[in-house]
Amino acid sequence: MKVLPAVDIRGGRSVQLVGGRPGTERVEIEDVAGLARKWQRDGAEMIHIIDLDSAMGLGNNEELIENVIGVLSIPVQVGGGIRTAAKVHRLFEIGCERAIIGTRAVQDRSFVEELAEQYSDGIVVALDSAADRVLIKGWQESSGKDIFSVAKDLESLPIWGFLYTNVDVEGRLQGINPTPISRLIRETKKPVIVSGGITTRSDLALLRGMGVDSVVLGMAIYTGAVNFKRVVREFS
């Protein structure tokens, strides 16, 4: 199981929000590239970057993301507001390993299919969930669809797999809800990355036992609840 550090970017800084809501920042770091290099030194196999401004329709941090990719020797996966083919093409041009598509993937199956055919195993579909319903537009709206039906519909496409984020527990440091994760893993043959609420070594051990491909750690490693170097050695 890979352990990936989250680098969420808002206003040119790395932040950690509670439930993805602006104004709830508990962590703000100016040197985003330096932060990414630190996680690489600490043993990260991949960096997980989310452009929060782009996800919320408030601009983008594409130039900064390109700079971050340029200073690293490990792969990067990028998500947040990726709703056009041009943006996907641009991300791969600047060295992105995987592009994470959420809103447009839920709304337009043919969009995902076309990109997945072009970038084999480079497309990850984001299943951002509240009460098992997929959220869109930077977690601001519900799509009305449940995560399991969306996964079932899209897993036949040549995508890499799914990123499941439980927004109900995101950033709260209160642990995970294993029930939807377990069901999702049972119902799809694609790899699953899990994010949201991971707080302790026990959470990580439970996820590894479920067969999760990768986990994304955010608030837990920024607040010291989890020692990143230690869990990378233990679980990767």
Q: How far apart are CA 63 and CA 132, in angstroms?
A: 34
Classify 209 as helix, strand or coil: helix
Q: Which of 8, 51, 53, 203 is catalytic?
A: 8
Q: How far apart are CA 61 and CA 12, in angstroms?
A: 6
DSSP string, 134-191: EEETTTTEEEEEEHHHHHHHHTTSS--EEEEEETTTTTS-S---HHHHHHHHHH-SS-
Q: What is the widest separation between alpha-carbon atoms in the chain?
A: 42
Catalytic residue at 8? yes
Task: Determine the residue type at 71.
Answer: V
Q: How far apart are CA 192 and CA 172, in angstroms?
A: 22
Q: Which of 51, 128, 132, 146 is catalytic?
A: 128
Looking at the annotation, which residues are catalytic? 8, 128
